[in-house]
Chain A
């Protein structure tokens, strides 16, 4: 007995195998002894069993380390149905109705046996082992009457990409499939030729002939096929995630599984979605995944702050992150970049303050100039120009203060209070608080102001 489902096994978007659930449980795992071999460290030796229960395909976790993941949740038992994508390590299992799939090789739908057939590999990373091993090794657990249907194949024989290996189908069937494919191809070519022959001359050369000719003639999808969906909007069967995201085990992708702790960290461009933290000893997968997610969120906040032009905030966020998780993502580099930006900004401000000081000094506003120079020095202690300017300015202020103080004393002595007050004020402005001359000026100023008020 079989179900109307087939399970497409994919890795990085490339389909690496197909399985049809039967009453006989199929072992899925990394071990060569399994029916379906998924060779990856994130896959346990016997990871799960695919079987039929009450006519429904069921995937049962075999206490694997990384488990079965459906839409970000770890499940021990999954009832397969179209749209339910199960993640096993880097592999994704896509249950599909048999009628909705591409034309199957002859005998597949009729066969009551398990089919694990490789498809033409879409990517270089597709692993032939899944099909090859599953297909070629002797099936000791197979029902005896089924065994003759599986012709033994030498283990070293590579899987032919163009001719699917179908368990239970002989060489004749394969030849028949090839012949059917050839006939179909010839028919299509003939149709194209006919269309081009009958097309009005005015349309000649305006469209891509083969594509335009074939498309209308393409037979409509079977009534058993699911309702056509717009590209990219496949609620029943989520679009496969990008290879990088899948490699990183992005938990934000429906049905995605976090990668194994030993997985290499992804590049910065993909790191925005998920960056795995270093897994702590004894930390559960869920806890590790949650911690990684939280750290990634903070990492993104820091990076966003840096991109917004708020490097100080980025430093604060990312430094705290690094204190908690040293070496997380590119946080250290981002902090270094943010610090460089902060330093550059500080230098810009210091230079602006210095320029302001130079302008004020030129205008004769020496206290204002000194304040600006000091501000520049405080902003950037490595900026040496303010220090030099302050030294020169203080000397100038001291000299001017002495001149003014002398005049103030004489004005004061002659009882010219108004003039003396103005001059003493200038002295107070020019000299630092601890300067004795300033102290004297302040005392005289206080006295004269008292006299003036009285």
Chain B
């Protein structure tokens, strides 16, 4: 009798461990399962999870990626600057201005923090903030990439609760983002 009890308990533990492993390993598996995206006008390219849906945009929005459950999204925007900038030289000012623009355009935003370019990825400026959304508070991480007079913004959005979970995906997509050489010239 006791042997049977022990066997049941072992099975339960194994199941819990399996569930835990699945939960932990799932994003990594998802990262591995990326698919490339190339802008139809050859302005940029990136990689996104296969499970995410890509939607070609219009106007300033070039592309929108949706997580299948709708808990996260990534939006790629493009702006033509009035004059070319040297991102390496002016990154500190771009940090300030991007922060200022968020404050101006989204007055209810808070917990804003910004930091400059990181060497291992093309992003010039990363700005992160929280804003009220339709289904509660949203956390946004914005990657701003400047090359000459081209400004690309990768807006990564999820609920505050889920943000930590999707953060690696956001970073993976941002790392894979490449401005087309032809475009930047």
User: Is this pair of chains taken from one and the same complex?
Assistant: yes
CB within 8 Å of B: which residues of A? Answer: 406-407, 409-416, 444
Q: How many residues of B contact A (CB 8 A)?
A: 13
Cross-chain contact of B85 among A413, A415, A416, A444 (Cβ < 8 A): A413
Q: Which residues of chain A are near B36, meaning CB under 8 Å?
A: none
For the complex, give the distance between the alpha carbons of A99 and B93 in Å: 113
Residue of B nearest to A417 (CB): B82
Residue of B nearest to A407 (CB): B93
B101 x A414 contact (CB < 8 A)? yes
B101 x A413 contact (CB < 8 A)? no
B81 x A414 contact (CB < 8 A)? yes
B101 x A406 contact (CB < 8 A)? no
Q: In angstroms, how far is the closest chain A Cβ from the Cβ of B170?
A: 23
For the complex, give the distance between the alpha carbons of A132 and B81 in Å: 117
A409 x B97 contact (CB < 8 A)? no
For the complex, give the distance between the alpha carbons of A412 and B85 in Å: 10
Residue of A nearest to B90 (CB): A410
Q: How many A-B residue pairs have CB under 8 A?
A: 30
Q: In angstroms, how far is the closest chain B Cβ from the Cβ of A135?
A: 113
Q: Which residues of chain B are near A414, meaning CB under 8 Å?
A: 81-82, 97, 101, 151
Cross-chain contact of B149 among A406, A410, A413 (Cβ < 8 A): A413
Q: In angstroms, how far is the closest chain A Cβ from the Cβ of B5?
A: 68
Q: Which residues of chain B are near A416, meaning CB under 8 Å?
A: 97
Q: Which residues of chain A are near B145, meaning CB under 8 Å?
A: none
For the complex, give the distance between the alpha carbons of A112 and B89 in Å: 123
A409 x B90 contact (CB < 8 A)? yes
For the complex, give the distance between the alpha carbons of A273 and B85 in Å: 81
Q: In angstroms, how far is the closest chain B Cβ from the Cβ of A426?
A: 15
**Does B84 make an interface contact (CB < 8 A)?**
yes
Residue of B nearest to A447 (CB): B82
Residue of A nearest to B98 (CB): A414
Residue of A nearest to B101 (CB): A414
For the complex, give the distance between the alpha carbons of A415 and B84 in Å: 12
For the complex, give the distance between the alpha carbons of A409 and B89 in Å: 12
For the complex, give the distance between the alpha carbons of A413 and B85 in Å: 7
- The B31-86 residues at the A interface (CB cut-off 8 A) are 81-85
Q: Which residues of chain A are near B94, meaning CB under 8 Å?
A: 410
A406 x B90 contact (CB < 8 A)? yes
B82 x A415 contact (CB < 8 A)? yes
Cross-chain contact of B84 among A406, A413, A444 (Cβ < 8 A): A413
Q: Which residues of chain B are near A407, meaning CB under 8 Å?
A: 93
Q: Which residues of chain B are near A410, meaning CB under 8 Å?
A: 85, 90, 93-94, 97
Q: Which residues of chain A are near B151, meaning CB under 8 Å?
A: 414
Q: Which residues of chain B are near A444, meaning CB under 8 Å?
A: 83
- The B87-137 residues at the A interface (CB cut-off 8 A) are 89-90, 93-94, 97, 101
